[in-house]
Amino acid sequence: MVVHGGFFYTLERTTTTKCIFRCRNRDCKARCHTSLSMDSFLSEPTVHSHAPDPECIPAFELKSQIKIKAMASNEASSSILHSELRLMPLTAVGSL
């Protein structure tokens, strides 16, 4: 998944030279292309048919951190959740 400008993109497909992402909102036709390593845009995102949702970014980052920590350690899931939720700003809790 890629986050850019308050919009979320999911991987649609890959080719031998690039990754093609589409907007997470399936009613929107916006797309972007990145390098295979996903470190740079080959094609900037196209226009969206909806407003960005930057309030969801902290929740997305929290979920990603929890998944990464769960795969990399033998720590109990309750411990991982507690340690990661402590770091989340209170203003972002509503987006969970």
CB 34 within 8 A of CB 46: no
Q: What is the pLDDT of residue 94?
A: 65
Confidence of residue 95 (pLDDT cuts 50, 70, 90): low
- DSSP assignment string, 28-70: ---EEEE-TTSSSEEE-----SS---GGGHHHHHHHHHHHHHH
Tens-digit pLDDT profile for residues 6-50: 898 999 999 999 999 999 999 999 999 999 988 889 988 899 999
Share of the chain above pLDDT 70, in %: 92
pTM above 0.85, yes or no: no
